[in-house]
């Protein structure tokens, strides 16, 4: 195992640098083929997202694997290394394993515990597989990384709390309504934040999405995304009482909804509660509306307070997740060491089994005719001799596999016993 990883991320490089090194998806097979043919790379994969670009490879047993991957990144994107020197990081062997596990488990993400990165890693792995760039080493490593990510999500609550405005809105809505199925959400304004919140609410089970915007055509376009209903600009107050959840982000210089509007809504809704998320700055909803019974208003500061509390919870859970990664790195290292020793053990057995059979065949000519019992005794005797002779070198190889396997020591054992690679 000679693992090397070179890359950069949101932690080490600004977005304009990350953009320069982005690998467009259609170019990945070409890039992987270039790695295989031009460099001493046996297996490889490339992870390229908005927040990170990483090249992972199993290279030949040479000390310049890091240099080769750096050269590949710079050459492919035609960017001089001097302009990237301060942004690139590299990991080898055990450190590379640990980094891969942490990335897959979302412990190295901009938003700790976010779920998207695991899907991106799986896509990068599948792309490399389809390009013929994955072999036994990276297959074992990545499958273990996916298992680690699953352990982290099942054994910790690192991803169970909202850490974005849109997710926090869903979390608060669930606390108020318990179940969002059958609820109607109205979007006031067609900005990106409102769209994201509506998207997450739709995913949580709301049955109807109403969209109102000062420009009706934009309301129509956004409503189509959610198979919803666009409200004519002048008809807002004819439909607003239909909404169980209101998300407002219009950019209006004055309040769109005030306390009187809240009282009217609750009267028309026969006291059924309404949840209002005001994520506009300046605010769209008069805070006085919160004084109306069964109107629950949250502004962007309220949501940020929820997010900050949830981030602190995720950071506490990250400690447990890091312990899982540590355990899994140790287990993978044990597997890799044993696997590195196995070919030498197999080679020893095969070589001396061939010698045994050759000498037995030569001796049979002098022994003449033998009974089946005599044949069995001779077979058992020669096998026993070979096993006793190989016991010590095989035990030594197994002992080495439980430590940091030294290729020079393995090479000496092979040479002593006349084995060729």
Helices 93-104 and 300-367 cross at an angle (nearest 10°) of 130
From 38, 143, 56, select the one nearest 99 (Cα to Cα): 56
**Torsion, Cα of 43, 41, 4, 320 (10° steps):** 0
User: What is the token pair recorded at 135?
Assistant: 């072999």
Cβ-Cβ contacts under 8 Å for 153 (sequence gap 6 or more): 105, 159
Q: Is the Cβ–Cβ distance between 114 and 12 less than 8 Å?
A: no
User: What is the token pair recorded at 240?
Assistant: 């607003």
For the four alpha carbons of 146, 150, 156 and 160, in that order, the dihedral sign comes to: positive
Q: How many CA atoms lie within 13 A of 408 on its CB side?
A: 0
d(CA 77, CA 89): 17
User: What is the token pair recorded at 394?
Assistant: 């095989």
Catalytic residue among 14, 15, 22, 50: 50
Q: Residue 177 — left, alpha, or beta (φ > 0 → left; ψ -120 to 50 → alpha)?
A: alpha
User: What is the token pair recorded at 226?
Assistant: 């959610």
User: What is the token pair recorded at 318?
Assistant: 């990250």
Active site annotation includes 74 = no
User: What is the token pair recorded at 253?
Assistant: 């210089």
Strand partners, 55: 6, 46
Catalytic residue list: 50
């Amino acid at each position: 195992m000679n693992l090397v990883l070179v890359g950069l991320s949101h932690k080490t490089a600004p977005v304009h640098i990350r953009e320069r090194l982005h690998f467009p998806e259609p170019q990945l097979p070409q890039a992987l083929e270039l790695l295989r043919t031009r460099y001493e790379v046996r297996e490889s994969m490339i992870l390229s997202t908005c927040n990170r670009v990483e090249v992972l490879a199993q290279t030949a047993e040479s000390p310049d694997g890091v240099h080769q991957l750096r050269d590949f990144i710079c050459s492919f994107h035609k960017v001089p290394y001097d302009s990237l020197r301060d942004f690139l990081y590299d990991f080898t062997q055990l450190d590379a394993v640990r980094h891969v596990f942490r990335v897959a488990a979302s412990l190295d993400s901009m938003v700790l515990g976010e779920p998207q990165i695991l899907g991106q890693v799986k896509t990068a792995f599948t792309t490399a597989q389809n390009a013929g760039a994955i072999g036994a080493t990276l297959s074992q490593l990545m499958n273990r990384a996916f298992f680690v990510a699953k352990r982290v999500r099942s054994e910790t609550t690192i991803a169970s709390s909202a850490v974005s405005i849109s997710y926090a809105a869903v979390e608060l809505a669930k606390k108020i309504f318990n179940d969002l199925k059958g609820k109607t959400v109205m979007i006031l304004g067609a900005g990106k934040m409102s769209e994201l919140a509506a998207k997450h609410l739709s995913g949580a089970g709301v049955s109807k999405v109403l969209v109102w915007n000062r420009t009706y055509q934009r309301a129509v376009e956004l409503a189509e995304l959610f198979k919803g209903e666009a409200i004519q600009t002048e008809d807002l107050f004819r439909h607003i009482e239909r909404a169980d959840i209101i998300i407002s982000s219009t950019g209006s210089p004055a309040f769109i909804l005030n306390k009187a509007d809240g009282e009217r809504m609750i009267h028309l809704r026969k006291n059924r509660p309404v949840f209002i998320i005001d994520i506009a700055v300046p605010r769209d909803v008069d805070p006085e509306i919160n004084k109306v019974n069964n109107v629950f208003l949250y502004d962007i500061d309220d949501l940020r307070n929820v997010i900050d509390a949830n981030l602190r919870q995720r950071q506490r859970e990250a400690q447990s997740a890091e312990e899982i990664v540590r355990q899994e790195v140790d287990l993978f290292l044990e597997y890799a060491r044993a696997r590195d020793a196995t070919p030498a053990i197999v080679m020893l057995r095969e070589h001396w089994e061939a010698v045994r059979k050759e000498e037995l065949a030569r001796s049979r000519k002098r022994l003449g005719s033998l009974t089946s019992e005599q044949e069995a005794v001779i077979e058992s005797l020669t096998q026993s001799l070979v096993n006793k002779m190989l016991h010590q070198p095989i035990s030594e190889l197994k002992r080495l596999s439980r430590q940091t396997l030294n290729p020079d020591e393995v090479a000496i054992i092979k040479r002593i016993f006349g084995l060729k690679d």
